[in-house]
Structure 1
Amino acid sequence: MPVQSTNPDYDAHIVEWEMMDDALEGECAIKRKDRNLPKPSGMVEAEKLDAAGNKYLYQNYTDRAQYEHWVRDSLRSMMGLVSRLIPEIALPSGLKALENNATSDGFGLKQLFFRMVRQAISHGRVPLVVNIDDAGEPYFSTYATRNAINWDVADQSGRQDLVLAVFREFRKKGGDRYSHDTETVFREFFMRGDVCYTSVRDEGGQLVEDERPLGTTGADNRLVKGLSYIPVIYCGSTDNSPEVDEVPLLTMARAALKSYQLSADYFTSLHQTSHPQPWVSGLDEAVELSVTGPSAAWDLGRDGKCGYLEFQGAGIEAVRTAMEDQKGAALEAGAKVMDVGGTESGEARKTRQNDQHATLHSIVVTVAEAMEQAIRYAAEWKGYDPKQVKFAVKPEFITPAVDAQVLTELQKAVMAGTVSADTYWMYLTTGKLPERAYDEEVKVMTIEGLSDRRGVGLEE
């Protein structure tokens, strides 16, 4: 089979992903595809008679339709909530640079987290690849969902792990610095024996970059030990397995598309209602009527008759009601994904909600887990202890309010030496008390006391 071969799950979901691409791009993308607005039968028959001359009928029908940007607006609102979250990051000393320079285009871990959450919300799938650059430094790449075309899972040392991952890439053609022409290539990761290999092929299957093994590196960045797994994570909306997860905003996108189709009929009906069609009959052959309008008068002759064919619009209200129903369905779907309330633990909430739908809460937890796993891959690749890696995000979207009375009592406790200044400061800035045992609080107070004595000694 050729390198362009696709996974059956990819084929089953590509239409959904393309729909989400169009929904996020907006009305222009929706109107570029005739399939999003089927032609009424009358327009189909008119084009059979004169395709070029009657093309304007469908064009006007499309122009009057209105696509609502519910998906794009909802995604922006959700990302506004996510942008308030602060990841807790711990890295081995040799990987500290990743915090500010982690992606192939030079952005840090926090920005990578936001990118992945955004794509998980909009498409339900974020292919994340760990790689090593020419200087031997690790970095992370994400792919558009539609460009992760193939993958396969098989038994590896008694576990079901990835044995193939293929991605479509677009490389700029050389020769003209002003040109934006690209050529398509395919980057593949595959297991050969117990070692992961990678290569790049063109559309004809010819090697563009030779097959090479991936593995841990020594001080000279040379291969020390072959990597025994494919460093690819398919981050989903509910878990991080290679299987395709649901698209959280798909219901909203479908409602927006149906509203768009209804709006074409609605606004066409309004147009026809406000522009009645004149008719005449019984005219002599010599009579010519070439002008209509409020300033025109017709001489119909002795036997001529005229009138208006007015569009009654009896179904307009029904169409408008149907559009409102679609809006309600879209808002309900968005509210389910936006569900961020509750006091239960993250894992308990995630377990409960996975049986229902992907929520912003579960998506944030899932993406953070994928990020942590990817950084651990990078640490292991470079010879560091993966256990030193931590990337965690508490999905707390509601900013707690600071209670003035509690703050006053905390201040008194600090002055009395029963609560640390760190606890007081955390509550003042976040509205939350630190989650630690009392013996840990005592250690913090002890450190603060040592710092104070050192400070006094310096002043003396």
Structure 2
Amino acid sequence: MPITDPHPEHLAAAPLWARMRDCAAGEDAVKARRLEYLPRPGGQSERAYRAYLARAVWYGATERTLNGLAGAIFRHPPVVEAPDTLARQLDSIAADGGPFEGLAQSVTREALLAGRAGLLADRPAEAEGDPYLALYPAEAILNWESAPLAGRQRLTRLVLREDMERCRELLLDATGQYRVRLWRRKSRQAGAYEIAQEHRPTRAGQPLDAIPFTFVGARSLSPAVEKPPLADLAGMNLAHYRNSADYEQSLFLTGQPTPWIAGRLEARERPTSIGSGTIWHLPEGCSVGMLEFTGAGLEALRQAMLDKEARMVQLGARLLEAPKRAAETAEAVRLRGEAEASSLSILAETVGRGLTQALRRLAWWQGLDPESVTIRLNRDFVEARLAAPEILALVESWQRGAISRHTLYDNLRAGEVLPPGRDFAEEESLIAAETA
């Protein structure tokens, strides 16, 4: 079969991924799809539809929620444990030379928006240079195959789209050795591809026996396609957009008072303009007035939009919620976001495991201990900084012997008084240095 043939799961999910990208990109991307997201009312001309489309309002719930949830995860930087050799490479670990934290943020956003991403551990084919991590979005992971090897399912073939002209095929050959093929389209007119390059990556001169690729989903590291966490929110966002088009169209048609004249008028007597400074000379017996909309239809459309905005808040758009009149306690904030935080915790834990697995492949490839690599993403999404009276109460408890110094440290760290990543021994040494 052609190298660009997609996996059935990829084919089924592609329209949803495109919809998610458009919703996150905003108004211009959504309106560019025209009839796909905003059907034309029956009997409406093309010219009238263009005006109908222009008046529609896009409510950026998907984009703002994506930014807010990703920001909550990276409110504190990832905790990275790695050998010094690998740690020194983290500032340029991505395929484009970018740092690890930027790569981690990109993977997290892909998991939130598309529910899927992939990380390929690779190194230059021409020389034994330092390996790096290449991020592939869901759309670029075209096809994959798995088979039972040594008693467990293992990835045996993977096709990645580099761009419209190139594809990368990763496979285990008949001998179980890892092989890479680069396919290039024969010409811009032809759809066929041909192998332009083929090589066998090695480690210390020995071929690899596994494909160094990590699938990262919202809930698992499985190759199976998952539903994006923000899919329901994006669907509600589009429904709100369609409501707004009808609402704005109704406002346009009914919001401007229209004059009427009752009586017998000759053609030459009919007014041709309206406004201050304009005098109408009408025959005797004519009456005039203004047509104004007084029905409840507009209010029903407006209420439908408000209902959808409230449901978007429930589906994850917490940042769109109107400010409370009274200040909320930290506990109230935590309870209000409990369900959202639970799903976000699962995603943060999954992405952390995916990043760990990918970095362990790099460590192994360089002869380092893979088990010494661990990545943990922040799962404390709501700020819980201790207030001054609470800090004083903790210090007094420690001074009176009610709690240990270690317990005091744990509470100050949980209360975000101490910087993230500083352990108890480091804090103790700093205190000792200042005391000296």
TM-score range, shorter chain: 0.7 to 0.9
| CA–CA separation in structure 2 for the residues paired with 1:84 and 1:24 | 21
Aligned to 1:155: 148
Q: Return the match for 2:134 from 134, 137, 141.
A: 141
Partner SS for 1:42: coil
Change (3 A) 1:332 1:372: same
Gap regions ≥5 residues in structure 2: 186-190, 321-331
Aligned-residue offset at 1:372: 0.6
What is the number of equivalent residue pairs in this alignment? Answer: 404
Aligned-residue offset at 1:86: 3.4
Asked if the contact 1:163–1:191 (Cα under 8 Å) also holds between the matched residues in 2, the reply is yes
| CA–CA separation in structure 1 for the residues paired with 2:399 and 2:342 | 42
Aligned-residue offset at 1:90: 2.1
Aligned-residue offset at 1:374: 0.5
Asked if the contact 2:394–2:408 (Cα under 8 Å) also holds between the matched residues in 1, the reply is no
Change (3 A) 1:40 1:357: farther
Aligned to 2:325: none
> Residues 77-96 of structure 1: matches in 2 within 5 Å?
77-96=68-87
Change (3 A) 1:153 1:276: farther
For residue 152 of structure 2, what is the amino acid of its counterpart? Answer: R
> Residues 287-326 of structure 1: matches in 2 within 5 Å?
290-298=272-280, 311-326=293-308
Asked if the contact 2:65–2:319 (Cα under 8 Å) also holds between the matched residues in 1, the reply is no
| CA–CA separation in structure 2 for the residues paired with 1:432 and 1:141 | 34
Aligned to 2:89: 98
Change (3 A) 1:395 1:165: same
Q: Is residue 2:398 matched to residue 1:406? A: no
| CA–CA separation in structure 2 for the residues paired with 1:166 and 1:306 | 73
Q: Is residue 2:91 matched to residue 1:109? A: no
| CA–CA separation in structure 1 for the residues paired with 2:345 and 2:379 | 6
Deviations 1:3-59 (A, max 9, x none): 21111111111111111111111111111111111000020xxx3xxxxxxx32111
| CA–CA separation in structure 2 for the residues paired with 1:411 and 1:363 | 41
Aligned to 1:374: 358
Q: Return the match for 2:117 from 126, 150, 156.
A: 126
Aligned-residue offset at 1:151: 1.8
Aligned to 1:36: 37
Deviations 1:283-342 (A, max 9, x none): 545667543445444556689887766555431111111111111111110069999958
| CA–CA separation in structure 2 for the residues paired with 1:166 and 1:88 | 32
CA RMSD after TM alignment: 3.8
Q: Return the match for 1:212 from 199, 212, 237.
A: 199
For residue 314 of structure 2, what is the amino acid of its counterpart? Answer: E
For residue 381 of structure 1, what is the amino acid of its counterpart? Answer: W
Partner SS for 1:143: strand
Asked if the contact 1:202–1:208 (Cα under 8 Å) also holds between the matched residues in 2, the reply is yes
Asked if the contact 1:64–1:268 (Cα under 8 Å) also holds between the matched residues in 2, the reply is yes
Change (3 A) 1:400 1:275: closer
Change (3 A) 1:340 1:208: farther
Change (3 A) 1:187 1:278: farther
Q: Return the match for 2:245 from 240, 244, 264.
A: 264
Asked if the contact 1:10–1:150 (Cα under 8 Å) also holds between the matched residues in 2, the reply is yes
Aligned to 2:4: 4
Change (3 A) 1:279 1:337: closer
Aligned to 1:360: 344
Q: Is residue 2:239 matched to residue 1:252? A: no
Asked if the contact 1:337–1:358 (Cα under 8 Å) also holds between the matched residues in 2, the reply is no
Asked if the contact 1:227–1:381 (Cα under 8 Å) also holds between the matched residues in 2, the reply is no
Q: Return the match for 2:166 from 180, 185, 196.
A: 185
| CA–CA separation in structure 2 for the residues paired with 1:340 and 1:372 | 31
Aligned to 2:160: 167
> TM-score scaled to structure 1, two decimals?
0.76
Aligned-residue offset at 1:261: 0.4
Partner SS for 2:134: strand
Change (3 A) 1:430 1:99: farther
> TM-score scaled to structure 2, two decimals?
0.80
| CA–CA separation in structure 2 for the residues paired with 1:153 and 1:40 | 47
| CA–CA separation in structure 2 for the residues paired with 1:42 and 1:455 | 80
For residue 262 of structure 1, what is the amino acid of its counterpart? Answer: N
Partner SS for 1:334: coil
> Residues 388-427 of structure 1: matches in 2 within 5 Å?
388-398=372-382, 399-401=384-386, 403-410=391-398, 419=405
Higher mean alpha-carbon deviation, 19-28 vs 378-387, is at 378-387
| CA–CA separation in structure 2 for the residues paired with 1:188 and 1:295 | 76
Change (3 A) 1:242 1:341: farther
| CA–CA separation in structure 1 for the residues paired with 2:359 and 2:392 | 41
Asked if the contact 1:337–1:359 (Cα under 8 Å) also holds between the matched residues in 2, the reply is no
Deviations 1:233-266 (A, max 9, x none): 1100011101111211111111111111011111
| CA–CA separation in structure 2 for the residues paired with 1:135 and 1:192 | 22
| CA–CA separation in structure 1 for the residues paired with 2:295 and 2:162 | 51
Aligned to 2:23: 23
| CA–CA separation in structure 1 for the residues paired with 2:195 and 2:264 | 77
| CA–CA separation in structure 1 for the residues paired with 2:179 and 2:25 | 36
Asked if the contact 1:340–1:397 (Cα under 8 Å) also holds between the matched residues in 2, the reply is no
Gap regions ≥5 residues in structure 1: 48-54, 171-182, 219-223, 343-348, 435-439
Change (3 A) 1:358 1:404: closer
Higher relative contact order (CA 8 A, sep 6+): 2
Change (3 A) 1:290 1:199: farther
Aligned to 1:346: none
Q: Is residue 2:432 matched to residue 1:431? A: no
| CA–CA separation in structure 2 for the residues paired with 1:286 and 1:333 | 61
Aligned to 1:275: 256
